[in-house]
Amino acid sequence: MTLDQIQPGNDCRIIDLFSRDKLGKRLLSMGFFPGLELRVVRNAPLNDPMEIEIGTSFLSLRRHEARYIEVEPA
């Protein structure tokens, strides 16, 4: 499943990143990598974008961007 399918409040682990272009680079530089555990914190009032917590930092990303992150529930 992909990150956009995780409901707020749930944890998951990254399996793979599908994007190899700008988005992929951006995700890598913001600290996403396979094996990383993260938590979906909330969805924006209009459901998109979503906010996640990795380690000590909080990030937000659009849903269609989250679709490039394959995860498994943790």
Contact residues for other proteins, defined by CB under 8 A: 16-36, 41-42, 44-49, 51, 55-62, 64-65
Distance CA 62, CA 51 (A): 9
Q: Of 1 and 33, which has the nearer Cβ to other proteins?
A: 33
Min dist CB 69 to other proteins, Å, is 10
Min dist CB 66 to other proteins, Å, is 9
3-state SS assignment for residue 59: strand
Distance CA 44, CA 66 (A): 14
64 C-beta neighbours (distance < 10 Å), count: 11
Q: Of 5 and 53, which has the nearer Cβ to other proteins?
A: 53
Min dist CB 73 to other proteins, Å, is 20
The overall longest dimension of the chain from CA atoms, in Å, is 30
